[in-house]
Amino acid sequence: MKVFLKHSLKAVVFMAGLLVFLIAASAILLPRNNREEDWKHDVQAHGILAEPENTIDVLFIGDSEVYSSINPLRIWQSYGYTSYCLSASKQRLWYSLEFFNMAMRTQQPKIVVLETNSLFKAFPAEDSMMHSMDQVLPVFKFHDRWKCLKFEDIFRSPQYTHIENRKGYRLYKESDPADIEGYMEESENVEYISFLNKIYINIIASTCKQQDIKLVFLSTPSTMNWNMRKHNRMEKLSEELGTDYLDLNLAHDGFSIDWEKDTRDKGDHMNYFGAEKVTAYVGSYLNSTGILVHHEEKAICKAWNKALKTFTDDVDKWLSTLAASE
Partner 1 sequence: MDIASLFLGGSGSVMTSFFSLTFLIAFLPVSLLAYAVVPHKAKKFVLLIASLVFFWLVSSVLIVYLFLTILSVFLFGKWLDKIQRTMKEVLSKTEKEKRKEIKQGFVHRQRMVLLLAVILHVGLLLTLKYSGFFADNINSLLSLVNAPFEIPVPKLMMPIGISFFTLQAVSYITDVYHGLIKADGNILRISLFISFFPQIVEGPICRYSQTADQLWNVKQIEYKNLTFGLQRILYGMMKKIVIADRLDPMVKAIFDEPNNYHGGIIFLGAVCYTIQLYMDFSGSMDAVMGIAEIFGVKMPENFERPFFSKSVSEFWKRWHITLGTWFKDYIFYPVTSTKKMKNLTSSARKKLGNHYGPLIAGGVALFCVWFCNGLWHGAGWNYIFFGMYHFVLILGGNMITPLANRFFKAVKLDPECFVYRLFRIIRTALLVVIGELFFRSTGLMSGFGLFGRIVSDFSFSGLNSELLKKLSIDPQDFIIIGITLVAVFIVSLMNEKGISLRDKIAKRGIVTRWCIFYALILFIIIFGAYGFGYIPVDPMYANF
The CA distance from 121 to 127, in Å, is 13
Apex 85 CA angle, 32 and 250, nearest 5:
160
Q: Using CA atoms, how far apart are residues 194 and 99, in angstroms rounded to an integer?
A: 21
25 binds partner 1 (CB under 8 A): yes
125 near partner 1, judged by CB under 8 A: yes
| Cβ–Cβ < 8 Å for 106, 54 | yes
Q: Which amino acid is at 169?
A: Y
**Minimum CB–partner distance for residue 122 and partner 1 (Å):** 4
Q: Which helix (H) or strand (E) holds 113?
A: strand 111-115
Q: Is 144 in the site for partner 1 (CB under 8 A)?
A: yes
Counted residue by residue, the chain has a size of 326
Select 10 or 173, whichever has its Cβ closest to partner 1: 10
Q: Is 122 in the site for partner 1 (CB under 8 A)?
A: yes
Among 35, 52, 102, 134, binds partner 1 (CB under 8 A): 134
Q: Which of 53, 126, 152, 253 binds partner 1 (CB under 8 A)?
A: 126
Q: Does the protein bind partner 1 through residue 17 (CB under 8 A)?
A: yes
Beta bridge partners of residue 84, listed in sequence order: 59
Compute how many residues bind partner 1; rule: CB under 8 A.
32
Residue 147 or 294: which CB sits closer to partner 1? Answer: 147
**First-to-final CA distance of the chain:** 86
Task: Work out how close the CB of 147 gets to partner 1 at its nearest, in angstroms, rounded to a whole number.
Answer: 5
190 lies in the binding site for partner 1 (CB under 8 A): no
Per 3-state DSSP, what percentage of the chain is helix, strand, and coil (rounded to 5)? 50, 10, 40
For residue 35, which of 24, 47, 26 has the smallest C-alpha distance?
A: 47
150 binds partner 1 (CB under 8 A): no
d(CA 323, CA 83): 30
Decide: residue 119, CB within 10 A, 0-12 exposed, 13-18 middle, 19+ buried.
buried
Q: Near partner 1 by CB under 8 A, which window of 15-23, 241-249, 267-275, 312-320? A: 15-23
Distance between CA 308 and CA 316 in Å, rounded? 12
Complex with partner 1: residue 24 or 322, whichever CB lies closer: 24
- Judged by CB under 8 A, the residue of 43, 50, 104, 130 near partner 1 is 130
* Residue among 1, 3, 5, 323 that touches partner 1 (CB under 8 A): 3
Residue with smaller CB distance to partner 1, 147 or 298? 147
Q: What is the footprint of partner 1 within residues 55-114 (CB under 8 A)?
A: 92
- Cβ 254 to partner 1 shortest distance, Å: 39
Residue type, 94: W
Of residues 129 and 322, the one with the C-beta less far from partner 1: 129
What is the strand order of the sheet 111-115 is part of?
Answer: 83-87, 58-62, 111-115, 214-219, 244-247
Nearer to partner 1 (CB atom), residue 110 or residue 141: 141
Min dist CB 16 to partner 1, Å, is 11
The Cα–Cα gap between 106 and 48 comes to 9
In the complex, minimum distance from the CB of residue 234 to partner 1, in angstroms, rounded to a whole number: 20
Q: Which residues bind partner 1 (CB under 8 A)?
A: 3, 7, 14, 17-18, 21-22, 25, 29, 40-41, 92, 122-127, 129-130, 133-134, 139-141, 143-144, 146-147, 194-196
